Structure 1
């Protein structure tokens, strides 16, 4: 059988580099969904990706959804909705988790600022030490600069950075972004991707439009 790239079901795509793992093969939680070929790079344990998804409780029901072919650098933290405290009351202090009688002050979920699922598109590059806050959506092909805190949605094929994270510029013009969004190359089969690696990695953007 002819190979067309690494096995998407392997924990380590390159057995010689144990600092990179395919995330979907390392997760155990049903509320984290990750696409093929998306990797986490961390010399201190790439396979421990779930430790970087914090305050993620099943009873809240939110999901972390990450697309295909994403590159996520070390130090990532996805802060999920369980980190939120109620803000409509006099105090934001979480008495209930301290027990010893204070558990009677359990907040109603409707009083918490639940912001829904956190969704990362396909072909997203996230730099080192980035924090993604609850409910954020990052579009396909976006790039998030190192040390950023992402507090609101980032459009597809944008370069964004800072704290709070803001769009710096688009990677391509509107026409090319629309074309790539429709092309969805990340959904091609492994053979088609393999046969078009040169074009996918070329800075000559006219070539991508020649692929049938």
Structure 2
């Protein structure tokens, strides 16, 4: 951990001594005098946004940097976050042999200005691109993540987002299962967004693979009334709508079978049944039922093929390997993970 007061005090000495070496990227050819000049330029736009702290960071003045200066609370928050990695930072951005504290000083008074990342665990460019509500140049991305982003579930880097998608569905959506009676099978992974849980039930089978940003819509706005607007939902503003019929209507429960792969950003609409072994292409909008082992894609989704010939599909549906005990499944995995499907079927007694 770096002492925030010492770092701030060292700034004036550094301006005079020009101890920082040139960076490997945009300032590779900058002179030491030029770097000293850069330290005096504004880092981000003016303005302070008072925020409340967390257990880890009890005081921080704001998410913006005033007149190119971070105050003590901001520097201390960055230091205590553990996100700055001097070895990584020096290797990526610097060509001089600086100490750990000097690398941190360089990041505070130069790196933030140029949207440098503090270490491998926080990618500034990724954080800005994946959070469009943060206007580039107005807020310090790192301070925002420390104060708000982490607790809000925002991802610090692309790898973290990918790892989050590996969470088991029944664990990620346990609260919805308890509250609305949804069912999630063993070993399925991914965290889809469920919309309209109070209007219909959702069932997801075993061993499903659900990509990032998948929406499962269990009810639609009513289209047979004068307006599709949900006045009843906003009855506090429109009290005369209170107690009227529900604003949304479901066409039926959504049932997703076993061994189903749903690509990123797909949308599954109310009343749809997706059978065992099916594949839903990325960004598809599924409005109608999907047969076993079918591959669908598009908006609206249409069948573009099947994973296997009809005879093999029938045999796999009889085998129902997803219902096997884990012990038997583990023993059969060497056969399942090779591309000779018929050999697997024969050993299961279906050939």
- Counterpart in the other structure of 2:218: 80
Of 290, 303, 323, the residue aligned with 1:187 is: 323
Report the counterpart of residue 5 of structure 1 in structure 2: none
Q: Could you tell me how far 1:90 is from its partner in structure 2? A: 2.3
Which string of whole-angstrom CA distances, capped at 9 and with x for unpartnered residues, describes residues 77-106 of structure 1? 11121xx22222222222222225634334
| 1:55 aligned residue (192, 196, 199) | 196
Name the count of aligned residue pairs.
181
* Higher RCO (CA 8 Å, separation ≥ 6 residues): 1
Q: CA deviation at 1:18?
A: 5.4
1:177 has 2:313 as partner: yes
Q: Is the 8 A contact 1:86 1:107 kept in 2?
A: no
Question: Which ranges in structure 2 are unaligned for 5 or more consecutive residues?
Answer: 1-162
Per-residue deviation, 1:107:
4.0
TM value normalised by structure 2:
0.48
CA distance in 2, matches of 1:185, 1:154: 20
Closer, same or farther: CA 116–19 of 1 in aligned 2, 3 Å: closer
Report which of the two has the higher share of helix. 2
Q: Which runs of 5+ in 1 are unaligned?
A: 1-16, 41-48
The counterpart of 1:153, out of the listed 284, 289, 299, is: 289
Contact 2:188 2:205 in 1 (8 A): yes
Alpha carbons of 1:88 and 1:179: their partners in 2 closer, same or farther (altered >3 Å)? Answer: same
Q: Any conservation in 2 of the 1:142–1:159 contact (CA below 8 Å)? A: yes
Higher-strand-fraction structure: 1
TM-score, length basis structure 1: 0.78
Residues 8-33 of structure 1: per-residue CA shift (max 9 Å, x gap): xxxxxxxxx55511111232123321
Q: Match of 1:32?
A: 182
Distance, in Å, in 2 between the alignment partners of 1:132 and 1:192 is 33
Q: Is the 8 A contact 1:20 1:39 kept in 2?
A: yes
